[in-house]
Amino acid sequence: MMLEKFKDYLKRYQIKIKTLFENLSERDDSEHRRGVPPRIMGLVASLSPSAVSIPAEYGGRGSLPSEILSLLEITSYESLPLALVFGINGALFLEPLAKYGNERLRSETFGKFIDTRSLGGLMITEPDYGTDALAMRTSWKKSDTGYAIEGTKHWAGLSGHADFWLMTAREKGSGSDLKRDVDFFICDSSDPRQSVKPVEEYSSLGLYMIPYALNHVDVDVPTHHRLISPKSGVRLMQDLLHRSRMRFPGMATGFIHRMMDEAVDHTQNRFVSGNNLFSYDQVQKRLSDLQADHTMASAFSRHSAEISSIDNDLSGRSLEANIHKTVLSDMMQNAAQSLLQLVGAKGYKTDHIAGRSVVDSRPFQIFEGSNDVIYQQVADQFLKHMSLNKDFHFLSALKSHPLTSKIADHFKRMTNFTINPNMLQRKKIDFGRIFSRITGLEWTLDMGNGGYNSALVNQALDSMTERIQSLLGSFQGINTTRFIPVESRALSHWRETL
Ligand X SMILES: Cc1cc2nc3c(=O)[nH]c(=O)nc-3n(C[C@H](O)[C@H](O)[C@H](O)COP(=O)(O)OP(=O)(O)OC[C@H]3O[C@@H](n4cnc5c(N)ncnc54)[C@H](O)[C@@H]3O)c2cc1C
Residues that bind ligand X (CB under 6 A): 88, 121-125, 130-131, 155-157, 207, 363, 366-368, 370, 372-373
Judged by phi (left if over 0) then psi (alpha if -120 to 50, else beta), residue 491 lies in beta
3-state secondary structure of 220: strand
Which residue's CB is nearer to ligand X, number 209 or number 340?
A: 209
**In contact, 361 and 332? CB cutoff 8 Å:** yes
Which residue's CB is nearer to ligand X, number 329 or number 334?
A: 329
Which residue's CB is nearer to ligand X, number 207 or number 305?
A: 207
Which residue's CB is nearer to ligand X, number 10 or number 359?
A: 359
CA–CA gap between residue 232 and residue 389 (Å, rounded):
30
The strand ranges marked E within 232-328 are: 271-272, 275-276
Q: How far is the CB of 4 from ligand X (least distance, A)?
A: 30
- Quickly count: other Cβ atoms within 10 Å of residue 14's Cβ: 16
CA distances 241 to 6, 144, 322, Å, are: 26, 32, 10
Determine the residue type at 306. E
Burial class (CB in 10 A: 0-12, 13-18, 19+), 53: buried
Q: How far is the CB of 179 from ligand X (least distance, A)?
A: 20
Which residue's CB is nearer to ligand X, number 292 or number 335?
A: 335
Q: How far is the CB of 360 from ligand X (least distance, A)?
A: 9
Q: How far is the CB of 420 from ligand X (least distance, A)?
A: 20
Q: How far is the CB of 6 from ligand X (least distance, A)?
A: 27
Number of continuous H segments (helices) and E segments (strands) in the chain: 15, 9
Q: How far is the CB of 248 from ligand X (least distance, A)?
A: 13
Give residues with Cβ within 8 angstroms of 388, minimum separation 6.
Answer: none
Nearest to 300 by CA among 282, 280, 285, 322: 322
Q: How far is the CB of 227 from ligand X (least distance, A)?
A: 16
For the chain, the distance separating the N- and C-terminal CA atoms, rounded to the nearest angstrom, is 83
Q: How far is the CB of 127 from ligand X (least distance, A)?
A: 8
Residue nearest to ligand X (CB): 130
Which residue's CB is nearer to ligand X, number 157 or number 233?
A: 157
Which residue's CB is nearer to ligand X, number 264 or number 366?
A: 366
**In contact, 170 and 180? CB cutoff 8 Å:** yes
Torsion angles phi and psi, residue 276, rounded to 5? -75, 150
383 CA to centre of own chain: 25
Which residue's CB is nearer to ligand X, number 298 or number 322?
A: 322
